[in-house]
Structure 1
Amino acid sequence: MVDQKLSNKGVRRKVLFVFICCCIALALAWTISKDAFNQVLSAVDNIAKPNEKMRLVSKVSRDIMQLDQLQRSQVLTDGDNSYEQLQKESKLVSASLDSLKNLYSQDSNQTKRIDSIKTLLKERDKLFKAYVQVREKMVDSHEFSKQLQSIGEIVQNTPNSDSTVVTRRKITETTTIEPGEIVKADSMQDDRSFFGKIFGSKRKNPPRPNTITQSRRIVKEGIEELIDTIATSKQDSAIKLIDSVLRTIEETQRAQSDSFIDREVELTYAGNLLISKMLSILNAVEKEGMLQMENENMGARTVMNHSLSRINLVVLSFLGVTIILVLLILSDIRKSNRYRRELEIAKEEAEYHSAAKQRFLSNMSHELRTPLQSIIGYAEQLRDEHPEDSRKVNVIYQSSEHLLQIVNEVLDYNRINSGKFHFNNQDFYLSQLIEEVVAAMQLQAEEKSLSLNLSKEIEGTGYLFGDPFRIKQILYNLLSNAIKFTDQGSVTLMVSTAIKNELTELRITVEDTGKGIPESDIHRIFNEFEQAENSNSGTHFGSGLGLSIVKTLCEAMGGNIRIKSQLGKGSTFDVFIPLKTSTLIETSREENNLIPIKDFTGTIWVIDDDSFILELCHNIFNKYKINHRTFSDPNDLLNTPWDSSVSIVLMDMRMPGKTGVELNHELRPRIEEDVKIYAFTAQALPEEREKIISQGFDGLLLKPFKETDLLHLLGLRKTNEEPLKIKNRNDLRDFDFSNLKKLTYNDSNQVTKILNIFIKDTGKDLINLRNALQANEREQLALICHKLAGRTSQIGGQKIAIKLRKLEIDIRNNEFDILEIQGIIDQLYRLLDYLKEELHSRSFINGTVL
């Protein structure tokens, strides 16, 4: 069993460890995945995020292109505002280059490129400025106008020739052109004048070569004039001067044109170089971006691969640990299965031995109770028949009772220890139960000259819901234990209840004036088969199970037991048991249904295979002159003709040849229905007794039985038998009868008369009070409470009178409690019973009570 518990604990630990490992593996996988995802997400963000360098380079490129466009527009518009905007844009480009240079502060090559771009921009600005200046000179017509004006002045200052002789002659020239012959353009002369060629515009229709499609003849006729002047020298000098001026103009225009072309070439070269530099930077930035993107991709790939490797490592580790633990768990399961098989075998053996033990105890109970029946029964008869030898007979009788108690304790312990006992909860009247127990123990206390006192403080109706048999068992064990270990003095039983909502707390206190229990033994007396050191002194013996049974029953009902003891002064046992409050309202008092033996007229048949028991029953019935007949064989009874005067049949349950159950089944059809059949049995187990009753018996008598038990089973009582009265002073503790005695001048006859009137009137009022309570007549209830309060106060019951007056006020205010009324009714009934008893014995009047 220990190995199995350890194995089960090991399996639980391994399963728990696997679960923890699984949680750890999941947590690690989640952490690794989360970390990898964050890193990949960061890489994606870096890739998706615009490259600041690329953006700035693109911006600078766009700005340079825009600057170039502004320069061209400057050339076309020739405005001062455009040039100012050009300078502004140039400064913005320069600022962007500075920002780009800051981004490339760690790259010296790119820094040099940016510096060269800035230098090129400055140089291009200078070139553009020079280009603009040259162009302005080229398009500036002021200087050219001055030169033309100087030529005009020369022409105006040239003198006219007066002696010019003009000789004219007519010249005719004929030219024939064949088809397909081309007339060249240069053969066609330009008929414009010299100044027309220089300052005039080009011909709109320059001479073009013509192809002759037909044979043509061209005839040119002209007049040749020969001029001859006398004064041509001045004209020639003017021409030379004009020619010199024109050459100067031509050279100036040619120089300006060459300078313009050079500036334009330089500007173009600078622009191309600038664009080339920017393209190189763009390519570098693009390569850098691609390299960065590739690095980011590579980093993300590396992170994912590393994360997958770590996850694989975690999963493989978890699988490895799981496989090992699963193998260990399977091994433990195999062991557990083996243990289970062993346990099943052990359980079957235990059940077999338990059943054997039950059979043994049942047989032992039967075998012990049967001879005890003869010992106790005959000892009781001898004690009654020979009073002079009662001391010797009492030794036999008490020893038999002690042996019977041990047998009962062993049986109870076995049932409680095996867990086969159960509680048969039902409504019961606590006061009646307590009085029955005390009445049963009274004789045992009187035999030891002990005073058995009872004190009750019961709230409400006194009805509770629980197992009355187990409550009796607790009371019997405690009282028996107290009486057994008390040699002189008294044993006091105090019972009280306290109602708390739907529960009633039952408190049972047993005080004795015995030897007490040493403090070192207090913790052991509730153990099984153990007693205090001074218990077995030679006169007190026991099984050591009584208090163990009490403790087990109390705890099973949700209560507890406490003990206080002082060596040499006695012990006090306190039992607390929570019980449900019964819903019954009316208090029922069982009337004594026993009839005197002299009034019994029927016949009793008794059948038992034990001749001693038959002889005992024969002596008891003869003693009280009851007609009877005994049988030792069931077949003899069945073969005997039925006697119509037979009203009761007593039969043993275990007889040779035929059991009591079989005999009952055969006998029932042959007898009248009103005939009672009771069983004699030594089977003490409750389930055995219930089984016997269920077989059609009207009741049973447990062996060993006493004379009184047998007579009560038959519904008979002795002629001189009176109910045993329990002295209970608790109901009188609030009464002060001194005023009543003073009022009557200690006249006993007057006291008796007044008390008889009180008993009679109060009894009637209690009946009326109960009827009014059932009819819910509040006015009647209040009136009766008022009358009872006054009457009770007159005889000295001040505290009860106060309760009655308070109850009267509550009833008139509709705030009364039914349980409180029932409690007062019950208390007054107990008071009346006690007063009747004391008046009958005259002890109250003679002053022995007070």
Structure 2
Amino acid sequence: MKLQQVLNNLLSNAVKFTENGAVTLFATTEKREEELYLVCTVTDTGIGIGADKLDSVFESFVQAGSDMVRRYGGTGLGLSITKRLIELQGGKITVSSTYGEGTSFYFELPLTLSEMVTNEPQVPQLEQAQLSASLLAGKKILLIEDNIVNQKVTYLMLHKAGMEVHIANHGKEAVAFLEKETYDLIITDLQMPEMDGFQTAAYIRKKMQINIPIIAMTASALRNEKDRCMELGMNEYLTKPFAPATLFFHLKRFLLKEESSTSPVAETEESKTSGLYNLSFLEEMDDAEYASEVLDLFLTLTPTALNEVKDLTFREEWKEVFRKAHSLKSGLGILQMQPMLETITQIEANAKAQENTDAIESLLQQAFQQYELVKPMLEAELESSRKKVVL
């Protein structure tokens, strides 16, 4: 739940528009029948909002007036984003105000069972997971991946557990590594230039006669792809995005010979959300610096990638549109940006089949809009993560 961002937006707005007086936050819980609600009110003694503006205050790019923009700045997106975040959690927000006297925002959110219970029962499980991860320290991993976001995410995940990680950008580089070094396990993407994951696995097994475990990871999840991986001698197949716990589950299987009756894969599928984004995969690492690096990479690279897809679409280079759209899916999956991920997946499918390509332009416009909606939220998450690193 993005309660922190909701409160940050409301409180920063209240402070910005209050030159004298006070800003007050009141929070409580209310039980209604069998449900528990979090109820919050943010009240200020600031400039207030005119009655003619109250009905539109939650609309995108709307502020109290052009003179307010000149005096106080801002884009007019904060309250629109706040309302959307609250509604995505099943809550509601209202506003009351008297011009010249102040404003009060009231919102309520239903609390789920997982938010009401304490974390104490989970401590032994967490300690056991950390102990198992520590046993992986010193293991040598070859990561074959051409996407820089995936490289960063997977490298940091493994490096934090004490593993030594070498990165190859494609299969040919991987073969060069394997000719000089010995590894405990290989993690490979499937869609890569020069030499893809399928060709690489076949070469490693048949030509090089190397039998260390190979874990395939892909954003495609195409039909029969897993069977093809197994036929080529790979040992496991993961669909991106996957939670860190899922990867470590399989690392422990192959490197520590641990067997467990409970795989985290099913839990990962259930955790996916239909919301704008979800940082649970990053939060699972409990590392603010790691989260900051991933968010910064995503915010830096995504606009460029979208513009590249736009240019390629204009030139009708569908093979390259497919490749670039496919590369975008990884970052979107890690941040669980389901609406935008679905749009990019459709672009990828149309470009690969070279069918219904006329629809790609409008799909791409939709993807740009989806990114612009989420961008300020992720920027706020990035700022929050950076502050935690400093602390």
Shorter-chain TM range is 0.3 to 0.5
The normalised TM-score by structure 1 is: 0.20
TM-score computed with the length of structure 2 as normaliser: 0.37
Pair member with larger Rg: 1
Comparing both structures, which one devotes a greater share of its residues to helix? 1
